[in-house]
Amino acid sequence: MGNRFTVVDLFAGAGGLSEGFFRTGYRYISHIEMDRYASMTLETREVYHALKTNGMEDVYYSYILGEISREELLSEGGRFVDSDTIIRAEISEENEKALIKRIREKMRSCNLKKVDIIIGGPPCQPYSIVGRGRNSEKMKKDPRNYLYRHYLSFIKHFRPHVFVFENVPGIKSARNGQIYRDFLSRAEKLGYRVKDKTLDARDFFVLQKRQRVIFIGWREEYNLEYPAFTPIEHDYTVSCLLDDLPPLNPREGTESPQEFLCPPSEYLRKSGIRTKKDILIQHRARGHNERDREIYRYVITVWNTERRRVRYDELPEHLKTHRNRKSFEDRFKVVAPDLKYAQSITAHISKDGHYYIHPDNKQARSITVREAARIQSFPDNYKFEGPRTSQYTQIGNAVPPLMAERIACEIKKMLGEI
């Protein structure tokens, strides 16, 4: 226990980035996340890892099967989990000092002398190029623009050896690059060398095209370099994620356990997304009106026959209900099964599924929570707490766990060189 590197996790979300560090053996001091349901998901996942480490993984699967309640799960796992690890709170000007004090008290109670690494990334919406395109003035005034300064306050106070800060590529151009430059300048004044690269999840064995800027900073006295992430080559396609799941019509399926349709694909086994123990949950289709289903069938047919995306303006006239037919022309998009990667899963999937249409014409629906989670590389045993809308949001905001795991491994090598 004492030799494990310690982590503080800020803006933790549902734990995509956290999962990579869990898997790599780090010890968490605290996770801070303001959203109720994301915090619950993270708490459930923390208990899963604790039970697995102590040879009691079957208790977790009893919860997945509905044999025990969440309260019973937390009670069983509580024997192996430090209290107060997950802090449900907003990181703000008003409570920043209180949160730092709370983490210090936790460290004293666990006899921990230092924080080895701080990870996390504030909400990306203010930096999103799509978001700025919709309402640039609103985004300029969004107070979330400056949450990175709170992140740096924790760096200043705890002086970790290394930090990992992640966000969308748009952070580099937000406010004409001012935020990007200010973040680097402030970090350097705190005594850190900082490098950043735009990394794509598809290079990390994730079947999704998803770019993220990953900043890695280390104390300036250390002779370290930004890790070299060599892309993982493969020939798997998105169909590997979908083919073992039972077909659903709109409103069919359930949150509860279901049977898989067939054994897992080689990709699912190699990636660890589905194991022999896993049980299918959270595979329930949302409802759609008949007009939307007709659109879905149209765009699926065009992809399958012509292998191209449909622009909104070329839909049959009776299917076009939006007056603005030029902006966001690709608002209806199939998750193409024959490509090596799907389009990026974003939090917008919680509002509608038009951008994430299942490729089967007979089903004519958007993807389920479990399908979205698989595209993000979440394992099938990852349970997302809360209502379905929140589950989609949690998945859309997350760092893919397979990507996070490789980052965590490289950070461990860096810490080993100190």
Q: What is the pLDDT along the chain (418 residues), one digit of tens a residue?
A: 446 999 999 999 999 999 999 999 999 999 999 999 999 999 999 999 999 999 999 999 999 999 999 999 999 999 999 888 999 999 999 999 999 999 999 999 999 999 999 999 998 555 444 554 445 555 455 455 689 999 999 999 999 999 999 999 999 988 788 999 999 999 999 999 999 999 999 999 999 999 999 999 999 999 999 999 999 999 999 999 999 999 999 999 999 999 999 999 999 999 999 999 999 999 999 999 999 999 999 999 999 999 999 999 899 999 988 776 666 678 899 999 999 999 999 999 999 999 999 999 999 999 999 999 999 999 999 999 999 999 999 999 999 999 999 999 999 999 999 8
What CA–CA distances, in Å, run from 36 to 41, 71, 165, 281, 382? 9, 16, 22, 21, 17
Amino acid in position 27 = R
Position 228 scores a pLDDT of: 95
Q: Residue holding tokens 């994620």? A: 241
- Report the run of H or E that residue 31 belongs to, with start and end: strand 27-33
Position 124 scores a pLDDT of: 59
Position 2 scores a pLDDT of: 47
CATH topology of domain 239-384: DNA Methylase; Chain A, domain 2 (3.90.120)
CA distance linking residue 155 with residue 177, whole number of Å? 22
334 DSSP 8-state letter? B
Position 174 scores a pLDDT of: 84
Position 222 scores a pLDDT of: 97
- Report the run of H or E that residue 406 belongs to, with start and end: helix 401-416
CA distance linking residue 299 with residue 210, whole number of Å? 22
Position 240 scores a pLDDT of: 98
- Report the run of H or E that residue 130 belongs to, with start and end: helix 129-134
348 DSSP 8-state letter? G
The full set of domain ranges for the chain reads: 6-231+397-416, 239-384
The number of residues making up the chain comes to 418
Note whether 6-231+397-416 and 239-384 share their fold.
Answer: no
* 6-231+397-416: in CATH 3.40.50.150: yes
Instruction: Sort strands 27-33 and 86-88 into parallel, antiparallel or unpaired.
Output: parallel
Options 124, 240, 262, 409, the catalytic residue: 124
pTM of the complete model: 0.93
Amino acid in position 18 = S
Position 327 scores a pLDDT of: 65
Side by side, the strands of the sheet bearing 117-120 are 86-88, 27-33, 6-10, 117-120, 162-167, 211-219, 192-200
**Annotated catalytic residue 124:** yes
Closest CA to 280 of 204, 357, 374, 410: 374
CA distance linking residue 418 with residue 413, whole number of Å? 9
